[in-house]
Structure 1
Amino acid sequence: MTQPVAPEVTAVGDRPAGPPDASLRPRRARAGRRGESLAAYGFLAPNLVLLVLFVAVPLLWALWISLQATDGFGTGVFVGADNYVRLAEDGRFWRAVVNTTLYTALVTPLAMGLGLGAAVLLDGALPARGLFRSVLILPMAVSGVATALIGVLVFDENSGVLDGLLRAVGLPDVPWQSGGPAAFASVVLVTLWWRVGFNMLVYLAALQGVGAHLYEAATLDGANAWQRFRHITVPMVGPASFFLMIMNVIYSFQVFDVVFVMTGGGPQDATSVLVTYAYENGFVTRDQGYAAAIGVVLLLLTLAVTAVHWRTSRTRDVTE
């Protein structure tokens, strides 16, 4: 005959042990979530501190300076929106806006298009593709100033390599420094040489994730090379295109080193962009308040273009 089993007692009394009180479960769940939140904030804290110190504080400080009249010496005088009113009436500022917009409109699609074309070629069975990849990626290891100095060696009117080659074949020299359109074209060409490798690298990584079965199925259906590129490659690298569009636009709005070293914004403001014009006002004429106002406008323009592209892009979340 089975003997009855005595109930288990707890350490604090003779009450039978049982399942934990149901009323304690929500409390323990809240404590667990609180602990996870604290741990997450602990990991995020160093980045948040750096973000506040090196992004938020400088932005707020620049906004405050843009509301002052300064001469580089002593304390600025609060003038409200006077600097922004000056911007609206400044012809050189609007010339810089036009140049920056044109530079962005040229560099962004050309760098992305050339990068995608190079990535497609180097993703296939191209002979010595490793060498070509290295040659295209090599400019990424060079700073913007060094790139611009190389550009000066190539496009110098007196001793440049390019004009020397043109003279050798009987063609006239091109005024790369003294002619406005030619100077602007030289800046664009040097920038493309510098940026195509980065675009190619991102596109090449995106192409690695496109399944070969998609191309095989399209080939069996009779699609030619252009149709496979148009209807498979381009849509499948949509997220990479969205990323590169944002990065190229931001870089183009913030370009400084290439323009400053190659042309200094000349001739006659033909290559002046917003950052070089802000530099001129902030460090040459010592009008920091006006330069800060240019920087704030540049930030707002960049945010506006990025927001519009974010809202209108249909490929940023495309996956295979």
Structure 2
Amino acid sequence: MTTTEIPAPTARPGRAATTPKHRPKREREGAAWVFLSPWVLGACLLTVVPMAVSLYLSFTDYNLFDPPHWIGLRNYTQMFTEDPRYWRSVVTTLEYVVIAVPLQLALALVVALALKSMKGGKAFYRSAFYAPSLLGASMSIALVWRQVFNDGGPVDNALGNGGWINKPGWSLLAVALLTVWQFGAPMVIFLAGLQQIPAELYEAAAVDGAGKWRQFLSITVPMLSPVLFFNLVLQTIQAFQVFTPAFAVSGGKGGPADSTLVYTLYLYDRGFVASHMGYASAMAWVLLLVIGAVTAVLFRSSRSWVFYASEGDR
């Protein structure tokens, strides 16, 4: 029996065979833009265009009903020189960030360390501790929180010194504790970072006589510093934008005595209650610049305390 060899197909003269790897670069880029187009369109319509409009409105007098009237830098000069409540909102927000962010990260790290050392039930407790991060941002939970710290609530009944909501010195702490309670997201990130630390480091330290506290300071903290930095940046940005807890606890007024008047709550008051949307837009852009500056400072400072094992230095 003889076999007849079938010649392999050849490309037409003057035309190279086209395969996915050999497609023209322009064609591949065109396909990429087709798949990216929904995201690009959404980003432009929902983010870039509104930001551009708000930047324009920040230089206008606009009350949501009449056409905007150009006034230049008057909103900014009024904000910095003629509005004492604006500066009160700035101070309140800074106090909130200083209280809420360190407490939340410390609690998240403690719980992550406890979960790492657990032998069983880790998945259940991880889910249980993460649940507040999903629920805490809702208005319903914030209203429940208000009742917990109100006069006659559980805190009042337990401590017997009245509710915190109506005390200027304690109301902001009640708002901050709601953020601290939502420690699930940074906890999960901390737990993932802890699981990446080699066990050999702890074993070698134990052989050298290092105790648990020394191991924590000399091994856990340096090896976990990139994760700590990541959580610090995210939680700081979120803390500067806090709104729902302060709105619910104070009934949207920022009381008592403006003790819970955080920046975004005052922005809401100026824009949607007083109908000074141009002024509110100027406040929003100042907040954006401040968050950008704070983030840049954090990144700059990270060079001296964040340790990357691949680089072998700080």
TM-score range relative to shorter protein = 0.7 to 0.9
Question: Which of the numbers 121, 139, 148 marks the counterpart of 2:142?
Answer: 148
Question: Which of the numbers 281, 289, 311 marks the counterpart of 1:300?
Answer: 289
2:65 matched to 1:73?
Answer: yes
2:225 matched to 1:244?
Answer: no
Question: Where do 1:163-202 residues align within 5 Å?
Answer: 163-167=156-160, 173-194=161-182, 196-202=183-189
Q: CA deviation at 1:253?
A: 0.7
Sort the Cα spacing of 1:228 and 1:57 in 2 relative to 1 into closer, same or farther, 3 A.
same
Contact 2:112 2:188 survives alignment (8 Å): yes
* Larger Cα-atom Rg: 1
Contact 2:64 2:275 survives alignment (8 Å): yes
Letter in 2 for 1:149: L
2:266 matched to 1:277?
Answer: yes
* SS of residue matched to 1:87: helix
TM-score w.r.t. the length of structure 1 is: 0.83
Question: Where do 1:40-55 residues align within 5 Å?
Answer: 40-55=32-47
Identity of matched residues, %: 36
Distance 2:217 2:163 in 1: 39
Distance 1:318 1:84 in 2: 42
Distance 1:143 1:191 in 2: 8
Distance 2:22 2:72 in 1: 49
Contact 1:139 1:147 survives alignment (8 Å): no
Sort the Cα spacing of 1:34 and 1:267 in 2 relative to 1 into closer, same or farther, 3 A.
same
Contact 1:63 1:293 survives alignment (8 Å): yes
* SS of residue matched to 2:169: helix
Distance 2:126 2:269 in 1: 38
Distance 2:31 2:135 in 1: 40
Sort the Cα spacing of 1:164 and 1:35 in 2 relative to 1 into closer, same or farther, 3 A.
same
Sort the Cα spacing of 1:72 and 1:31 in 2 relative to 1 into closer, same or farther, 3 A.
same
**2:54 maps to what in 1?**
62
Letter in 2 for 1:215: Y
Q: CA deviation at 1:114?
A: 1.3
Deviations 1:11-70 (A, max 9, x none): 999xxxxxx9xxx9xxxx997444444444344332222222221111111111111112
Distance 2:290 2:108 in 1: 26
Distance 2:226 2:257 in 1: 40
Distance 2:295 2:141 in 1: 27
2:101 matched to 1:111?
Answer: no
Distance 2:112 2:190 in 1: 6
Q: CA deviation at 1:210?
A: 1.3
Letter in 2 for 1:150: V
Contact 2:150 2:166 survives alignment (8 Å): no
Deviations 1:132-163 (A, max 9, x none): 43432121221421331221121011x31110
**1:6 maps to what in 2?**
none
Letter in 1 for 2:93: T
Letter in 2 for 1:275: T
Letter in 2 for 1:258: P
Identify unmatched segments of 5+ residues in structure 1: 1-9, 14-19, 168-172
Question: Which of the numbers 204, 212, 217 marks the counterpart of 1:217?
Answer: 204
User: What's the RMSD between the two structures over aligned residues?
Assistant: 2.5
Distance 1:313 1:43 in 2: 36
Question: Which of the numbers 107, 115, 127 marks the counterpart of 1:122?
Answer: 115
| Aligned pairs, number | 291
Identify unmatched segments of 5+ residues in structure 2: 1-9
Distance 1:181 1:248 in 2: 24
TM-score w.r.t. the length of structure 2 is: 0.85
Distance 1:51 1:214 in 2: 45
Question: Where do 1:303-314 residues align within 5 Å?
Answer: 303-314=292-303
Distance 2:25 2:214 in 1: 52
